[in-house]
Structure formats: structure tokens, C-alpha cells
Amino acid sequence: MLYSKRCIVTGAAGFIGSALTRLLLTETGATVLAVDKLTYAGVPESLKESGLDPATLSSSNPRLEFLKADICDQSAMDKAFADFRPDTIFHLAAESHVDRSIDGPGEFVRTNVVGTATLLQAALKWWKAHPGFVFQHISTDEVYGSLGAEGFFTEQTPYRPHSPYSASKASSDHLVRAWMDTYGLPVKITNCSNNYGPYHFPEKLVPLTILNCLEGKPLPVYGSGVNVRDWLYVEDHVRALLLVNERGKPGETYNVGGHNERTNLEVVETVCAILDELRPRADGSRYSSLITFVADRPGHDLRYAINPDKLMGDLGWRARENFDSGMRKTVQWYLDNEWWWRSIREKKYAGERLGAGRSISAPAASHVV
């Protein structure tokens, strides 16, 4: 049967939320209410191919509606539920960049913790009158902390977050489970490894590397580049989210990852090698000559790696892309879509170092109560 639910997607103008919205609109019969505050990371242009006019935020697609709103605004969230009448919510809105959480943790506590609690309250009221409703929470493997050279995160791994970002996401996961255990709200949680792919905001490692290469700028690698992440192509992630929504059991957690562990240095070198082939430098030098080792991120976790056996065994999920195929698609997308990243680079983020611990702002008191 065609999936035709009414879905709220929070954070829909972000990297993963826009990919999920595209998937829902192109491969299912779902109707989507895209909710986003449009922070610096919210890019309405990412929903252009889904039918959104980025200037007016009106949609030419009858199955897509956009609501500019803050998930911390209880009355706006209550109204969104009452007006849209969702069957489910995919909750992705978050402050998502570890480096920014080091410089200013307050917004992370506000959006990721208070915002999630606000949405849970709106969802709870809605679910009491509409029992088929499910709350799906999208989280990160960073809640589990850091691994040594061996082993994988499973759904049973105890939480041990280290950064303000991962601690705020861990808090949000706990809140979601608490609303199920205490009030009976049906919830599903996914914890995913590092994503990469089209429409990724240029402050993150992969797009930053691609764009710095194209502009002939240094390619910053933290520490000695040995930190390992488990890389997943964003479309594989959002297919997993849809599968969990359709077939996952309420109350369950599913880890999402594709067994693509790479050191940060390997990631940067891969991007360089693909660009050497697709867009050789005019002077014949290799892009890797731009690699520059910089001071490490404070509290930098050494290694993340996901065991996705539950998702694969119980729900039959498989990643379609491996690291090399996904990375090639990604580099090609940035080469073909300068219209998307050029204005972000010029107006929002030009590649400066974040999170070196230089400009720490404490959470405002109103954010933490």
C-alpha cells in the first residue's frame, strides 16, 4: 500500500530534513508540513525542487506546505498540529554543529532540549484525540560517546555524550522515551552516524573541503586527522527513516549506519582525489597540497562506528551507496549546483574556524530552566 500519511517534518529546510521531504514527495503519496525556524542553517532553496518558492515560502506542490516557526513556541506548535492534523511527525529540527555548540551552547539547550519537550507536549495533546499518531525522533550516534579502536555502538550502548551538542541530543532522546514511559505516547527513535550528500551546509567537513578546494583555500584537518567517523549518504539515511516510520515498532530505537569508517584525513584525501579527476587544478598541482593540520577540536571524540544489524535484520534496510559512490555523487552535485552554495558562502559562512573554544557564551538562564 502506498505510504500516504500526513507528515510534519521539523527542520525541513536543513540538510537531512530537506532530503526526507524530497523523498516523501517523490517516492510516496505523503503530504508534508515543513516546519522550520530558518536559522542560519535553514536554507529554503533546498526545498526548491520540492516546489517551495524560497522568496515567499509558498509552495506550488499541493502536497507541501511550509510553516516558518520555532519549535520552542508552544502555541505555534499546538496550532500546527490542530491545523495540519498529522498522522506522524519526523522531528529533525536541531542545532546540529558540534563546533558551534562549543562556542555557544545556549541555543543547543534551547532548541534541542526545550524545543523537543515543547513538541512532545503538542504531540501528546494531539495523540490523545488521534491514537494512530506516532512521534519519530531523529538523533545521532554521538550520544554514545567515543569508541576506541575496536567495537561498535549498538542500541544497548550506554549514553556518554561529550560535547554540548551530543549532550543536548542525548537529553532530547531521554525526553522522548520519558514521554512514552510516562504518558504512553508512541515514539520511535533513530540514532545515525555522520551524513554527507547534496545540500549539506558548507560548515561541515565534506562540503567545506569541496568548496575550499574549488576556491584554492587551505583544507583544515583537526589534530592529525586520525578521528574516525562512520559515513552515510544522506539518501540512505532518509530511506531508513521512512522504513522505521512504516515498519518500526513503537518504543524501539534503531541505529543507522553503513559500515563506512574513514579517518577525517581519508575523507579529505578522497574529496581531493575525486576533484583532481573531475576538476583538475589549472597549475597541475594536486588538491591534497592544500591540506593544513590545525589545532584539534576540544574534547574531540576519537571514533564513532554503528552496528546497524537491528535495522537490517528487523526491517530489511540496506545502504544503496558505499563511501566511494556516495562521495563521487556528492562532489559532482557541488560542481553542478553553485547556485545553491555560492550565496551561502558569501552571505552566511565563508569557511572560518569555529569551535576552537575562543568565544564561549554561557547558556542564558531562560534557556536552561
Ligand X SMILES: NC(=O)c1ccc[n+]([C@@H]2O[C@H](COP(=O)([O-])OP(=O)(O)OC[C@H]3O[C@@H](n4cnc5c(N)ncnc54)[C@H](O)[C@@H]3O)[C@@H](O)[C@H]2O)c1
Q: Which of 36, 87, 95, 142 is catalytic?
A: 142
Stretch that binds ligand X, among 6-14, 24-32, 209-217, 303-311 (CB under 6 A): 6-14
The reply to whether 209 sits near ligand X by the rule CB under 6 A is no
The reply to whether 94 sits near ligand X by the rule CB under 6 A is yes
SS3 189: strand
57: left (phi over 0), alpha (psi -120 to 50) or beta: left
Q: CA-CA-CA-CA torsion for 99, 100, 106, 110, nearest 10 degrees?
A: -100
Q: Which of 133, 152, 201, 304 contacts ligand X by CB under 6 A?
A: 201
Q: Which of 93, 113, 167, 206 contacts ligand X by CB under 6 A?
A: 93
Would you call 283 a catalytic residue per the annotation? no
Stretch that binds ligand X, among 32-40, 55-63, 76-84, 245-253 (CB under 6 A): 32-40
Q: Which of 144, 165, 222, 304 is catalytic?
A: 165
Of 39 and 154, CB closest to ligand X: 39
The reply to whether 163 sits near ligand X by the rule CB under 6 A is no
What one-character DSSP code corresponds to residue 339? H
The reply to whether 114 sits near ligand X by the rule CB under 6 A is no
The reply to whether 345 sits near ligand X by the rule CB under 6 A is no
Gap between the Cα atoms of 63 and 71, Å rounded: 22
Give the residue nearest to ligand X (CB): 14
Site string for ligand X, 33-52 (x = CB under 6 A): ---xxxx-xx----------
Spell out where the chain has E strands: 6-10, 31-36, 64-68, 88-91, 134-140, 187-192, 195-196, 219-222, 228-230, 232-233, 253-256, 261-263, 291-294
Would you call 155 a catalytic residue per the annotation? no
Task: Give me 185's grid cell.
Answer: 505516547
Would you call 346 a catalytic residue per the annotation? no
DSSP letters along 217-235, please? --EEEETTS--EEE-EEHH
What one-character DSSP code corresponds to residue 134? E
Interface ranges with ligand X (CB under 6 A): 10-11, 13-17, 36-39, 41-42, 70-72, 92-96, 111, 115, 138-140, 169, 192, 194-195, 201
Cite the active site residues.
141-142, 165
